[in-house]
Amino acid sequence: MFKVRYAHTKLILLALAGAVALTACSAPPGDAENGKRWYAMHNCSACHGQNANDGRALAIAGLDMGFSRFEGILRKPYSPSMPAFPEARLSRQDAADIYAWLRSLK
């Protein structure tokens, strides 16, 4: 009896650990349609261009970087010309939406 329960607990813990690892590493699923809207709303277009490849800042259409790097740049841009977008201003989900839209522009 005890052994069976213990085995179940172990399985549940393993599943939980897996879920935590997944949320930590991967992007939440993004919605490209919404992303296009957030991109305009947050004025990314002012610098990166309406189509994300026609602005005065670097083209980011098609973006060839992982989500965590992308989110890192939003929170703490490496260029002083780009404003930071803290989570209070741009949620992780909105960032994932923008990411999905940029990736769809390949």
Instruction: Quote the least distance from Cβ 80 to ligand HEC, whole Å.
Output: 8
Per-residue binding string, ligand HEC, 84-103, x by CB under 6 A, is -x------------x-----
Dist. CA 80–CA 20, nearest whole Å = 34
- Using rule CB under 6 A, residue 105 touches ligand HEC: no
Sign of the CA dihedral running 28, 38, 100, 53: negative
Per-residue binding string, ligand HEC, 58-87, x by CB under 6 A, is x-x---------x--xx--x-x-xxx-x--
Q: How many CA atoms lie within 13 A of 98 on its CB side?
A: 25
